[in-house]
Amino acid sequence: MTIVVTGATGQLGRLTIDSLIARGTATADIVAAGRNADRLAELDSLGVKTARIDLEDGSGLDEAFAGADTLLLVSASEPGNRVALHNAAVDAAARAGITRIVYTSAPHADTSELVLAPEHKETERIIADSGIPYTFLRNGWYTENYAGDLATARQTGVIAKSTGDGRVASAARADYAEAAAVALTSGATGNEIYELTGDVAWNFSDLAAAFAAALGRKVSYTPLTPEEERAQLLSFGLDEGTAGFVVALNANIRDGVLAETGGDLSRLIGHPTTAMAETVRAMASA
């Protein structure tokens, strides 16, 4: 069975390939597909096949997908442009006769108020309409999303956000990659949807405490109003659109949109998800 992994030159894609190999998938059965030629060259050393693709113009897709059985479609990193990119990949998968698409979606993409959800909802619709059997991995938050806040806290001793007392059920990126590897090799025949989250939901006072322990210095959480946060982000040089997006995302967190702890992720990978504090310690020492 040949598995194509898009976004293989990104962090989740690369970790998924590592997890596939660790779980016994033959390297000859893995196609690592991505845009970054230098990172693809690094993947050659693993013994996997590599293919340069670009979802923006569709180049390389037919060649990369030819003869493959299963596709991991790692969601594109360009908010606002994801649907067109994903649609190109789904069309190519249909042309290639791929028999399962595993897609990294967003929590409750079909019903959520999460600012990121609409593009994922539309992508799920496109995949379902293609008639290709699917697995939707509705990934929650990666703890590593807060690496930038850790760097700021190292310098200032402060996390300042408009998240209120909202909680985030995050997990390590490697946990989500392992779940993708499980889904890709499960032999499933029907359609599947998993809501993937960490086992524990933490708030930003908890995150500040984890930062403090990892950095060996005092770190405090300062709640901001949305207006204060927007002004802060603009003062950092963010444009209006990006600042508004971040404020809207933090409003989702404040409203509890990312707080669910359903247990699908730990059940799928067969062990507890990585604790937030453990990932923070790893980031601090990197």
Structure confidence by residue, pLDDT tens digits, 134-149: 999 999 999 999 999 9
**Which pLDDT band, with edges at 50, 70 and 90, does 78 fall under?**
confident
Chosen domain end from 139, 158, 177: 139
If you average pLDDT over residues 10-29, what whole number do you get? Answer: 97
What pLDDT was estimated at residue 73?
Answer: 98
The answer on pLDDT for 251 being more than 90 is yes
- Run of H or E residues at 204: helix 204-215
The answer on pLDDT for 154 being more than 90 is yes
The number of folded domains in the chain is 2
Q: Which tokens is 241 given?
A: 């659109």
Q: Do residues 126 and 157 share a domain?
A: no
What pLDDT was estimated at residue 259?
Answer: 98
Q: Which of the 8 DSSP states describes residue 146?
A: G
Residue 177 lies in a domain: no
Parent domain of 81: 3-139
Domain CATH number, residue 107? 3.40.50.720
Q: Do residues 58 and 127 share a domain?
A: yes
Per DSSP bridges, beta strands 3-5 and 100-105 are: unpaired
> Is residue 12 within 8 Å of 74, Cβ to Cβ?
yes
Residue 264 lies in a domain: no
Q: Do residues 215 and 232 share a domain?
A: yes
Q: Do residues 12 and 76 share a domain?
A: yes
Domain CATH number, residue 158? 3.90.25.10
> Is residue 159 within 8 Å of 153, Cβ to Cβ?
yes
> Is residue 195 within 8 Å of 264, Cβ to Cβ?
yes
Q: Alpha carbon of 201 to those of 8, 168, 221, 258: distances in Å?
A: 29, 5, 17, 8
Residue 12 lies in a domain: yes
Q: Alpha carbon of 184 to those of 75, 101, 158, 166: distances in Å?
A: 15, 9, 41, 33
Give 36's Cβ-side CA count (13 Å radius): 11
Distance CA 268, CA 271 (A): 8
> Is residue 125 within 8 Å of 95, Cβ to Cβ?
no
Q: Say whether 231 sits in a helix, a strand or coil.
A: helix
Q: Do residues 245 and 161 share a domain?
A: yes
Q: Do residues 66 and 156 share a domain?
A: no
Q: Do residues 163 and 113 share a domain?
A: no
**Which pLDDT band, with edges at 50, 70 and 90, does 96 fall under?**
very high
Structure confidence by residue, pLDDT tens digits, 106-123: 999 999 999 999 999 999
What is the number of other CB atoms lying within 10 angstroms of the CB of residue 23?
Answer: 12
Structure confidence by residue, pLDDT tens digits, 179-216: 999 999 999 989 999 999 999 999 999 999 999 999 99
**Which pLDDT band, with edges at 50, 70 and 90, does 176 fall under?**
very high
